[in-house]
Amino acid sequence: MEPTAATPQPETTEAQQNGSAAAVETFDVHRPTDGTVVRSVAIDPPERVREVVARVRRAQPAWDAMGVEERARWLARWRDWMLANRDSISDVVQAETGKVRGDAGLESIYVEMAINFWGENASLYLADETPTPGLLPAKVRKLRVRYRPYPVVGIISPWNFPLILSAGDAIPALMAGCAVVIKPSEFTPLELIELVRGWKEEVGGPDILDVVNGMGDTGGALVDEVDYLHFTGSDRTGRIVMKRAADTLTPVSLELGGKDPAVVLRDADLERAANACTYGGFVNTGQVCMSIERIYVEEPVYDEFLTKLEANVRELRQGTDGPEYAAEQGAMTSPAQIDIVADHVEDARGKGARILTGGRRKEGAGDWYEPTIVADADHSMKVMVDETFGPVVGVMKVRDDAEAIRMANDTRYGLSASVFSKDTEHAERVAEQLEVGAANINDALVNYFHLEVPMGGWKDSGIGWRHGPGGIRKYCRTESIVSPRLPLAKNEPLWYPYTPRRRKLLNRLYRFFNARGLRNRIGLGD
Ligand code: NAD
């Protein structure tokens, strides 16, 4: 499946194959490891996006009517196809992202896991709810809340995890009964194109899943056409998407950037903390929204922690590998990002930070930056306040946990965090004061793999969440059904005509019940 650089062929969507013979514009997908072209891909202009959305919209009612169990069976077939093709999927992932094999493999693992998780939990999370009416007079009615899918969900995804953040986020929507159209990043569309081809051609799945390709125009057109839009990417583009969605009153969830802190308390297991921060800071070459980008270490253990972290980072092997798992650090996927990384490191160097490792681009072809520790950093430096999104961690000494909390919260982002201490309760108390959507105690990034709990950002890190019961309910509209338990009279006291006798009776009745409300709950008694 590995595409060859010698014979780049434009990748076309089904819509384009069936469309007019007009000249098709394309963009090139590059190998970040050496800059060569993997393949060129045809751009889907807005009218093609419209056609694709209309087509999956037609197929969606049958998909919804099929029910959760049958949909889970279809997705399990897709999972089995992925399992059988893991290696070739990883080859494509590596070609277009420059990831090392160990990181590329995470993509399939997560998507397979997500199919199992949502397949097992969708019927629980989407089951009708039957709340009990609070007021005695209202108990004559029975209440039911239903979750009904948005017909078509659009997903716009970034380049750092091209399957996890596209197919991975599509799975709960598909399980809810929605049709899904995904626009992957223009840097990394190939593996998703392959996965959607697998769904259509190998699995023979219903026509409720498709991919459209291109840049902002294609993404914008998708926002216009769908009933719900899930976006993952930078907060800059997230704002543009949300403004555009306002025109059609389309609801959105936005998973945006991060500047995740780690707090290392004086009683931490320093070896585990250093290992976790090495993984959390450098996995996927630091191109993770939840990367540990800044580390606050209590003064008494600062030097010892730094020594351990430095030893770890010096061991990281940078290079191009394959199934032999010969490296931990790959190339950087987006050429623009490497300029941001270099700028942050130079800014810190100029302001007096110590660059313990790396601190420069790697010579030769491709987009490579050496894994870098910026020690003695502070908040005057970009590396501690702006998203770096590369293989760089800033480390800062703090007096105590109060200062660590203050510095960790001194950011416009609020995605996730880590806290390290042998006293788990103390670590949890620190975590409770952090302004983040998720905190990992003595660990890094691990909350993402617990699909039971919501993963979403505070502040500029986003709106909404993925995972947890809300991670599938967000793809649904609620319908409340209120129906009688008992035979009904011909008229109701609330209805017309308004007469003094009926209104006084009604007022007395509600005065009686409302005056008693909350009494038991707040201990006023009768
Ligand atoms: P980006 O915002 O540049 O692009 C994201 C997607 O939006 C791409 O598919 C792009 O083509 C599309 N797009 C661009 N302009 C658009 C427009 N006007 N209308 C509609 N779509 C448009 O982000 P990126 O550089 O691909 O990804 C890196 C960013 O993503 C980082 O900030 C990172 O933190 C963030 N991210 C967040 C999460 C999370 O879960 N919170 C996960 C991964 C990455």
For residue 158, report the distance from its CA to the centre of ligand 1, in Å.
4
**What six digits make up the tokens of 91?**
């080859």
Q: Is the CB of 289 under 6 A from ligand 1?
A: yes
β-bridge mates for residue 396, sequence order:
296
Q: Is the CB of 228 under 6 A from ligand 1?
A: no
- pLDDT tens track for 154-208: 999 999 999 999 999 999 999 999 999 999 999 999 999 999 999 999 999 999 9
Question: 321 and 100 in contact (C-beta within 8 Å)?
Answer: yes
Q: Is the CB of 43 under 6 A from ligand 1?
A: no
Distance, in Å, from the CA atom of 445 to the CA atom of 46, rounded to the nearest integer, reads 37
- pLDDT tens track for 344-370: 999 999 999 999 999 999 988 999 999
Give yes or no: 255 in active site.
yes
Report which protein residue has its CA nearest ligand 1's atom 21: 219
Distance, in Å, from the CA atom of 37 to the CA atom of 53, rounded to the nearest integer, reads 30
Summarize the confidence of residues 17-25 as an average pLDDT.
61
Distance, in Å, from the CA atom of 504 to the CA atom of 280, rounded to the nearest integer, reads 67
Question: Taking the CA atoms of the chain, what radius of gyration do you get in angstroms?
Answer: 26
The answer, yes or no, to whether residue 4 has pLDDT greater than 50, is no
pTM of the model: 0.94
For residue 237, report the distance from its CA to the centre of ligand 1, in Å.
6
The answer, yes or no, to whether residue 1 has pLDDT greater than 50, is no
Active-site residue, selected from the candidate residues 51, 112, 225, 255: 255
Distance, in Å, from the CA atom of 261 to the CA atom of 348, rounded to the nearest integer, reads 17
User: Coil, strand or helix: which one is 158?
Assistant: coil
Q: What is the pLDDT of residue 23?
A: 67
**What six digits make up the tokens of 286?**
């630091």
Pocket test for ligand 1, best of 182, 232, 288 (most atoms within 8 A of CB): 232
Question: 430 and 265 in contact (C-beta within 8 Å)?
Answer: yes
Q: How is the chain split among helix, strand and coil, in percent rounded to 5? A: 45, 20, 40
For residue 33, report the distance from its CA to the centre of ligand 1, in Å.
21
264 CB-contact burial (10 Å; exposed 0-12 / middle 13-18 / buried 19+): buried
Please state at what angle helix 302-315 crosses helix 270-282, rounded to 10 degrees.
Answer: 50
CA neighbours closer than 13 Å in the CB half-sphere of residue 24: 23
How confident is residue 514, by pLDDT bands cut at 50, 70 and 90? Answer: confident
Give yes or no: 310 in active site.
no
Distance, in Å, from the CA atom of 448 to the CA atom of 471, rounded to the nearest integer, reads 12
Q: Is the CB of 463 under 6 A from ligand 1?
A: no
Active-site residue, selected from the candidate residues 178, 277, 289, 476: 289
Q: What is the pLDDT of residue 288?
A: 98
Which pairs count as long-range contacts for 166-169, CB under 8 Å and 24+ apart, including other chains? 166/192, 167/111, 167/192, 167/195, 168/110, 168/111, 168/114, 169/230, 169/232, 169/466
Question: How far, rounded to the nearest angstrom, does the alpha carbon of residue 266 sit from its chain's CA centroid?
Answer: 32
CA distances from residue 388 to 80, 232, 376 in whole angstroms, order as listed? 37, 17, 17
- pLDDT tens track for 371-427: 999 999 999 999 999 999 999 999 999 999 999 999 999 999 999 999 999 999 999
Higher pLDDT, 133 or 233: 233
Which of ligand 1's atoms lies nearest the C-alpha of 233? 30
Of the listed ranges 18-32, 35-49, 261-275, the least confidently predicted one is 18-32
* Residue from 138, 80, 409 nearest 263 by CA: 409
Pocket test for ligand 1, best of 157, 234, 388 (most atoms within 8 A of CB): 234
Distance, in Å, from the CA atom of 157 to the CA atom of 230, rounded to the nearest integer, reads 8
Question: 341 and 369 in contact (C-beta within 8 Å)?
Answer: yes
Q: What is the pLDDT of residue 525?
A: 53
